[in-house]
Structures are given as structure tokens and as C-alpha cells.
Structure 1
Amino acid sequence: MYLHHVAAYLPAAVVTNEHFTRLNGLASDWIIERTGIRERRKAGPGENANTMGVAATRALLAELPAFDPAGIDLIVAGTYTPHDTIYTAAHAVQRDLNINEIPTISISSACSSLLNAVEIVEGYFALGKASQALVVVTEHNTAYNNEEDTIAGHLWGDGAAALLFTKERLAPGDLHVVQVMTGGAAPVGKADEAVTLKPVEKGIVMPFGRDVFQQACTYMTRITQQLLDKNNLTVDQLTYLIPHQANLRISANVVKQLGLDPARAVNNIDRLGNTGCAGSAIGVAEVWSTLKEGDKLIVTVFGGGYSYGAMLLEKAAAS
């Protein structure tokens, strides 16, 4: 299985830390010290999880002029901030592509949705039920966020990414999906209440950030090391580690535990805020053009509800 291409969509509106200084009295330096965030993107009027998913897909296809999207035979979308829980982002993308009668799936495993979506693709490919799959991850956090929440209101940003996976390699530059590992730690700590989004109540809240921090550092490090060990790799052989973009301090902690050169960690949270399950996919898009034959990267994620995972990708050798 291969990743043929990835592209991102980011809303135009930029919200700096000074917005929260004016609103809540939170100093920019205070936000940066605790989260690493300097600014984030905010969806504009008429934008939502569906439209951003469509925009990311259009961006992907615009960069692949020789690819015929009519060959896409599976769409999987991930989000925990849906615009519509019935006509989902997956359906919106399918309608925009005008590809009828193919499996179209929406999932939510919090910020781990990207890797669980990839696992769904693996299953369809293995069963011979699909051969070219589009994975779309899109978050409209600001639709649910309470900016006046001084605990977590300043964390969230909006954005989306689209990834094209194929059963067979289409081009020399494709990334081989070497292995995906996922798990869930819902029985651990405060997984049931540390981060929640109850639309009928008060949107995204994070009353137990310390527990999230501790568990994210533990599980992202553990699953990444397990993935390295299973593939007989050392951390020094990684070109990039792309962690879930929840907090720059979490990323730094994971990097330190693994013994990885910090320069190899890909972070966009300083510019984009926490973009949920889209953050690490956006990170892959950001480094895509820099990848060389033989490069290896790991995407590692951790989400509310304490789901987690890691994926090893390798730039395929030219045949």
C-alpha cells in the first residue's frame, strides 16, 4: 500500500495570541510557553468541516493533473467537529468528485482518526474491495470552541488535509506504508472526561490537561518505539517524526524520550494551533516536497478518549 500524494487546506483568517490577550487577558508569552502556539487559522463564513474537506481534496487533485479521480473507489473521512452528522464530510467529498456507488465512510476516534482511517483503507485493500482510496481529515474546531474558556479556548485551529492511498505504486515518489499500529487506552486515567465535546452542552472542554499531557507523552513515545523495534530501525534512521499537533511541549517530551534530534520533528502548531486529526496530515504535506529516496518518517498520534497510533512511511526506491 502506498501514499501517492497529500495536500492541505487552511482557512485564510489568522487569529493571533493577541486576540486572546484582548479577550481574556492571556499574555501571548504565557500561551507560547505552555503550548507553543503563536497563531491559528479560523474558518470563514460559509466554511465548515465539509467545505474544508472538499477544498483539501481539490488541492490534492490540482497537484495531480495526470491522475484520473474516477478511479477512486473508497472515501474515508475523519473528524470530531462535523458540520453535519448525517451528510458528512465523506459524502460532501464524494458528491464534489461526482463518483457514484463507492464505499463512503466517516469515522471519529478524536485526534487519532487519521490512522484509523488508514487502517480502514488497509482492510479494504486487503479484501480486494478497493484499490484507490481517498482519506480526508478535517476539523472545524472554532465552530465548537468557547474562546472565553481560559483553560483551552486558545488552543484550537481549523484545517484539513486529503491523502490519496493506492494498493499498487503509481509513481516513483510514492511513500510505502510500511506498517500502521493503533490502540486505545480509554480505561487509563481521566480518558472519559479529560477532553470532551458534547454539542448539546458547551462544546470542547479540557478540564484535565495535565492528564492528557502525561498520557500523550507516554503513549506516543511507546507506540513509536514499538514501531521502530518491529521494523528493526533505530531512531537515528528516521528522517522525520510527525507528532499529533496538540502541544509543542508534548512533542518536545516525546522527542527527548526517543532520543531523536529535535530538528527532525515536524511541528506546525505554532502557526496553526491544534488542528485535531488533520494536524499530522498537514505536517506530511508540509515536508512532502523535501523527501528523498529512502527517507523514513513516522506519524504518531494521540487523541481525546486516549486513542493512539503510529504509522511508518518510506520513500520508495525507484524501480
Structure 2
Amino acid sequence: MYHSKITGLGFYVPDNVVTNDDLAKIMDTNDEWIQERTGIKERRHIKRGEDTTTSMGVKAAKIAIERSGVNNDEIDFIVFATISPDFYFPGPGVALQKELGLKTIGALDIRNQCSGFVYALSVADQYIKTGMYKNILVVASEVQSLGLDMTDRGRGVSVIFGDGAGAAMLSREEDVTKGILSTHLHSEGEYAKELAVLAPGMGGRWVTDIIADNNPEDESYFPYMNGQFVFKNAVVRFSEVINEGLQANNLQVSDIDMLIPHQANLRISQFIQQKFKLRDDQVFNNIQKYGNTTAASIPIALTEAWEQGKIKEGDTLVLAAFGSGFTWASAIIKW
């Protein structure tokens, strides 16, 4: 039995900084309103023609690969998490394989929204634990800005999201006291439409329907979020899945050296921090700078925390996420 260990981390965000004041120029909002509700001060948006979901993933992956010391020909598999692929199909995993010049290894696309990176990490972890693969590249990348309703109508959602990518190299670890100790995955499809983009979709309005109607009032292809309902569910599920991970490993809250929550809303993170009575130095947040980058938020935050020296060898890390689906997940890691 093996464990998998993160041996390299990297992230990339576009250069284009979009502040709350910038958004106030194109929709009825303001810096105070956004910060009060979300904690966000600014986010990054790509510029068309400069970045894509794949290109950002490639840039993050190159950093993670270099830091891991793993050669390209030693990479056995790719797991790519996103809800904003370059194409409707194929997914970006194969495009990443091409751009990195990797051999004809498998590429798996994960579509689990804000929980995507933890789900991807869990899949890669199981492949390594069973001995099937030795080195797996896990990437999460999102371009949300091009799919947002940047008008007064969409302001409640559009001010939240940003673009970016994060990556991790998972490698075989024979010391089973180190690496990923456990992962915990959940879903509740009953509430799928409470946070969703409904079109285009085979069960509803398809591309041909949207084109035929040519209706500028159609909101079905923009994100919808029942904000208060999502918030109430998120704080419950975050708590449950964190506790589940701790209990599975006979750990206490006091054993947590660093909690890295999905960067959905600073108010959710603060609620969880207060509930678990964690110090500021035990929780890492960067949503203030990048907004909600969906699947990419945890690897971006994880990389920044590591780069800033806030994660040290022997630390116990907890990753936790909640998002559309509903899906939620956690990972317990001994660094």
C-alpha cells in the first residue's frame, strides 16, 4: 500500500486586475457592497486571445512539474478539473497533454465545480495508492469571466467570480504516515438547480433553441445562484466534511495546522473559522485578491500558502470545498 504526496505546486492568474470600482463602472454596484457580502476586493479576468482554460492550466502545470523534480516522461496520468473547458468537447485534459508534449498517457476530465480539485485529488490519490501510477499531474483551471452576465441583472453572481489555474504533482510515497491520509466526497443532486447554468443542456434549452429564439432576455445560459440557500448549506456541509476527515484519522481540531477552504465567499470561511475556533494563522484565504476561481481556488490558495512559508513539513492540512451540485469534499494531508 502506497500513499500519494504532493511534490510540486504551481498557479497562474491573468495579469488583468478587475477591481470592485471597475465593476461599478459597468453595473449598479460599489466596493463597499461587494466587500461586505463577499470579502472580495479584486479578481483577475483574462483578455481574449491571451489566455484560455488550457493555456492557464499549462502555465500552472509547468511550475508544478519543475518544482516536483519529475521529468515529463515520468508523468503517468493527467486529471484536469474544470467547468469552463475551451471546447464543449473534448475536455482540456488532452489539450494539456499536447501542449506539455507529454507521451500518450491518459487524461481524465473532472467536472465537479467548486469541489473539482478535491475530487480530482481523490481520484489521483486512489490511482497511486493502488500502485497503478507513480506520478499524476492534477490541474484545475477556470475561465469564468467570459460566461458572466456583466449587467445589473447579473451583478449578484458576476462580482464573485474570477479566472485562474492551479496545479499539483502527486507522486508515490512509501512512508504511509505522510501525504494524503484520506479524502471524503459527497453530493446532493436534489439542489442542483440552486446553483447552476441551465443552458445549453440536452434536458432543457439546447444551442439550437437559443439561436432560434434570439432572445436577449434569456438568462438560462448565465449562472444562477440562490445565494442565501447556498450559504446556509455550505456552512453545514463544510463543517460536516471537515469533521469527517478528522474523525477518520483520529485527529482533533487542535491538530489542524492549516485549513484551506474553497474560496467561495470570505464570510463562509470566517464562519467556519469561528465555529472551529481556529486562529487566523490556521486558515488561509486569498479570495480578496482573486475572487472565486471555482475548481482552481484551492490549488491557487494551497500554492500561495506554501510559497509564503505557511505550510511546513509535518504539518496537518485540511482542504475543504462546497459548490454546485451540490457537491462537497475534504482531504486530510500530512505535509
Name the amino acid aligned to 1:154.
V
DSSP 3-state at the match of 2:158: coil
Q: CA deviation at 1:122?
A: 2.5
Larger helix fraction of residues: 2
Residue 319 of structure 2 is aligned to residue 299 of structure 1: yes
Residue of structure 2 in register with 1:151 after alignment: 156
Question: Does structure 2 retain, via aligned residues, the 8 Å contact 1:225–1:258?
Answer: no
Match of 2:17 among 14, 19, 31: 14
DSSP 3-state at the match of 2:131: coil
Q: CA deviation at 1:270?
A: 0.5
Change (3 A) 1:59 1:308: same
Match of 1:205 among 213, 216, 223: 223
Name the amino acid aligned to 1:312.
I
Match of 1:133 among 123, 133, 136: 136
DSSP 3-state at the match of 1:191: helix
101-110 or 266-275: bigger deviation: 101-110
Change (3 A) 1:146 1:169: farther
174-183 or 87-96: bigger deviation: 174-183
The separation in 2 between residues aligned to 1:169 and 1:11, in whole angstroms, is: 37
DSSP 3-state at the match of 1:241: strand
The separation in 2 between residues aligned to 1:142 and 1:88, in whole angstroms, is: 19
The separation in 2 between residues aligned to 1:63 and 1:122, in whole angstroms, is: 19
TM-score of the superposed pair, with normalisation by structure 2: 0.87
Residue of structure 2 in register with 1:96 after alignment: 99
Question: Does structure 2 retain, via aligned residues, the 8 Å contact 1:50–1:88?
Answer: no
Residue of structure 2 in register with 1:43 after alignment: 46
Change (3 A) 1:101 1:273: same
Residue correspondence of structure 1 range 99-114 to structure 2 within 5 A? 99-114=102-117
DSSP 3-state at the match of 2:246: helix
Residue correspondence of structure 1 range 1-319 to structure 2 within 5 A? 1-46=4-49, 47-64=51-68, 66-148=69-151, 149-168=154-173, 176-187=179-190, 190-196=191-197, 198-199=199-200, 200=207, 202-289=220-307, 290=309, 291-315=311-335
Q: What runs of 5+ residues in structure 1 fail to find an aligned partner?
A: none
Q: CA deviation at 1:263?
A: 3.2
Q: CA deviation at 1:9?
A: 0.6
Q: CA deviation at 1:131?
A: 1.1
The separation in 2 between residues aligned to 1:175 and 1:270, in whole angstroms, is: 31
* 1:195-253 CA-partner distances (Å, limit 9, x unpaired): 33534564442341111101111101110011112212221221111001010001111
* 1:67-115 CA-partner distances (Å, limit 9, x unpaired): 3121001001000111113242211211122222211111101111111
Q: What runs of 5+ residues in structure 2 fail to find an aligned partner?
A: 201-206, 208-218
Identity over aligned pairs, percent = 30
TM-score of the superposed pair, with normalisation by structure 1: 0.91
105-114 or 260-269: bigger deviation: 260-269
The separation in 2 between residues aligned to 1:312 and 1:35, in whole angstroms, is: 26
The separation in 2 between residues aligned to 1:34 and 1:206, in whole angstroms, is: 17
Pairwise CA RMSD: 1.9
